[in-house]
């Protein structure tokens, strides 16, 4: 049995982000079930947030919007090296660009739009920065089969 179009989109995003993470010496993690450890950072994290039906025609297809967050998490031990904020920003810039140019993702989606973003940092013994970007991905499915593009 085939995966839903939503899951196919999430997998395409994951493949794209994993390549960006690997090229930058980072880890890719989808929907972590526990807090990230120091060893797992730097990281790009994919967090699916919601999936909404926008329009459903009575004939054949349903338009949906999938909201996801992509979070760049970077820690800086001590005072050496680039700041965590700057390193997280660079990682997020590359992830953003890759999402908009990913052909496998383009084949599944009708549209991708950036949404509002918040970010944060902490300083104790370790400086950490997490910078999320949210995206709303519009896609179409068959009305009676969410595993088939509409």
Structural domains of the chain, count: 1
- Is residue 94 predicted with pLDDT exceeding 80? yes
What pLDDT does residue 59 have? Answer: 72
Of 66, 62, 63, 32, nearest in space to 50 by CA: 66
Instruction: Provide the mean pLDDT of the chain.
Output: 89
User: Among all chains, which residue has been given the structure tokens 């990682």?
Assistant: 91
| CATH code of the domain in which 118 resides | 3.30.70.1700
What pLDDT does residue 58 have? Answer: 66
- Is residue 56 predicted with pLDDT exceeding 90? no
DSSP state of 117: -
For residue 86, give the H/E element and its range. helix 84-101
For the stretch 95-141, pLDDT in tens is 999 999 999 999 999 899 999 877 655 554 467 888 899 999 999 99
Q: Which residue has the higher pLDDT, 89 or 81?
A: 89
Domain that holds residue 46: 5-149
């Amino acid at each position: 049995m085939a995966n839903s179009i939503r899951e196919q989109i999430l997998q395409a995003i994951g493949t794209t982000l994993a390549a960006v993470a690997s090229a930058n010496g980072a880890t890719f993690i989808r929907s972590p079930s526990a807090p990230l450890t120091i060893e797992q950072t730097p990281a790009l994290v994919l967090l699916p947030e919601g999936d909404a039906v926008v329009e459903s025609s009575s004939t054949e297809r349903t338009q949906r919007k999938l909201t996801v967050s992509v979070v760049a998490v970077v820690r800086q031990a001590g005072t050496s090296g680039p700041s965590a904020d700057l390193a997280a920003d660079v990682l997020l810039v590359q992830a953003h660009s890759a999402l908009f140019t990913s052909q496998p993702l383009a084949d599944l989606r009708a549209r991708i739009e950036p949404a509002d973003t918040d970010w944060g940092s902490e300083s104790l013994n370790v400086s950490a920065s997490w910078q999320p970007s949210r995206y709303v991905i519009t896609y179409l499915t068959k009305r009676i089969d969410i595993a088939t593009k509409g």
